[in-house]
Structures are given as C-alpha cells and as structure tokens.
Amino acid sequence: MKRIQGILTAVTVFLAAVLIFVSASCGKQASGNKLKNIERPDAAATTDEAERATSPEGAVEHSSNVNGARFGMSLGEFTEKYNYAIERGEGKTRLFFANWRKSSDTETDNNGVAIQYWYYDDTDVSFTATVEVKTDRLLNIGVGTTMSRFMGTTGDQNNSDLILAKAALMAKTVCRFPQGSESMLQDIFYRTTTESDTLWYDGYVFNLSTKEDRNDSKNNVMLFRVFPVTDELKEEWKLTEYV
C-alpha cells in the first residue's frame, strides 16, 4: 500500500506543472519522451493496422479558451460513462465522483478563461482533469503513473498494457468513440511512448508528458492525456498525425 501511495503522490505533485500545457506549448514539445523496450499492447497488435474510428458530432464544442475547443462532457458525466464502459470481470476499478479532488484554486488561461484542475487517485494510477469553470465542461483528461510502474509487470502481464488500456478507455469515453475503437486508441498512446510524444487524430491531441525525479528515478512520472483542438491550431503547431 505504501508503494502505491508513493506512486500516487508523485503523480499528484506532477499535475500542477504538467496541466498548464493544455495550450500551444504541448504542440511544440520535442519528441524526447520515447521509452525503450515497450512492447506493443496485445489488444493493439491483433491486426496489422488498428481499425479506424471517429467520434460523433457533439463530442467537441467550440470554446474561447486557448485551444478553441472543449469536450461536450462534464467531469461527472465522464465518471458515469467511464463506469458504464467498464466490462465486468476485467478487474478494472470503478470511479466515484466524490473522490475527485481539486488540485488548485481557479486559474485563468492565456485567453482569460477560468479553469480548474482536478485529480483522482485510483488503485494504480492517477486520473487528471482540467475543467472550464463557466461551462463545467472538460478541457483535457489524463492518466498518470510512474515510469518504474509502467515498465514493470503484474503477474505475467506487462503493466504498460494495463495502463495503456486504461488510457484508451478514458479516451474512448471522453471522445465518445464507438465500441471496438479501444485497440486503435491503445495503439495511439503506445506510439506516444515510442515515436512521437504528441500525436493528432480526428481533432484530438494525444500526448505523453514526462518528468524526471533527479533524487529518485523510481519516481519519474509520466502522464497520458487527450484533448480537442481546432484545425487551425493543428496546422499552427505542426502536429504529427496518427497514421
């Protein structure tokens, strides 16, 4: 239990710094987060090319925030729909809205839009979220863990598979991708660990951010996030498209 708490504490401390990158800085990051020896998840490797899918109209709304877009879903709705998407017998834990915590006071982005950062300590990861205060809509959402845990194993299964599957389910839920898109989303997040830490697909940015703990490498932190952006920003940031 103490080991898990250490992981969650490290991730939570990382949130305040990394969540600021909901704007153009995310699109301009160098691809320096590539990790070594990460196997492609089994779910994403069942076919040579993960089946493509698109999210429905209404999944994204226009906004005056720095990204020009927000999800058409509140944090409460995400929690409810995420739980609904969990398949019985998979060993995934449900989320409880009462367990979400604010990680800071209300702030404003560079366009003057009020935002609020939230986090949720799950059993082996931490969820993160940025909410547009006026509309109560999500701006971005993520799954964080430590690199040591991500690179480890649980029984005979790679933790990277488990965590990437959680990130895929998170993205499927908030982007409202259809059933069967999990392997594609898992592959996108996998590719952020091996090729480019920021990928664009179907109007969404999929990003891996990392932070090194110079005092203890076991606490090196990584955070997988997804958020919508306008087509104009996609071109301005020169985002790499997932193909």
Query: For position 37, what pLDDT does the model report?
Result: 62
pLDDT of residue 50: 61
Stretches in the chain below the pLDDT threshold 50: 1-8, 13, 16-17, 19-32, 46-47, 89
As a whole number of angstroms, the distance between CA 227 and CA 218 comes to 28
pLDDT score of 29: 40
Determine how β-strand 198-201 pairs with β-strand 240-241: parallel
pLDDT at residue 214, as a whole number: 80
Both tokens assigned to 165:
């599957």
Q: What are phi and psi of 240, to 5 degrees?
A: -80, 130
Dihedral sign for Cα 105, 81, 111, 207, please: positive
Residue 219: predicted pLDDT: 77
pLDDT at res. 1: 43
CB within 8 A of 179, min separation 6: which ones?
none
CA atoms within 13 A on the CB side of 207: 25
> What per-residue confidence (pLDDT) applies to 22?
44
Using alpha carbons, select from 188, 154, 191 the residue that is nearest to residue 38: 191
Are the CB atoms for 199 and 190 separated by under 8 Å? no
Tokens of 202: 């179907």
Instruction: Say what the pLDDT of residue 166 is.
Output: 93
Q: What is the pLDDT of residue 26?
A: 44
Q: Which amino acid, one-letter code, is at 71?
A: F
What is residue 42's predicted lDDT score, i.e. its pLDDT?
Answer: 67
Contact 213, 220 (CB under 8 A): yes
List the helix and strand counts (H, then E) for the chain. 7, 13
Q: What is the pLDDT of residue 186?
A: 94
Rounded to 5°, angle at Cα 101 from 95 and 107: 130
Domains: count for the chain? 1
How many whole angstroms separate alpha carbon 78 and alpha carbon 56? 16
* Exposure string for 218-230, b = 16+ CB within 10 A, e = fewer: ebbbbbbbbbbbe
CA distance 24 to 44: 29
The tokens describing 109, both together, are 């982005």
75-85 and 159-175 helices cross at what angle (nearest 10)?
120
Which residue's structure tokens are 């697909």? 201
Tell me the residue range of the domain where 154 lies.
Answer: 2-241
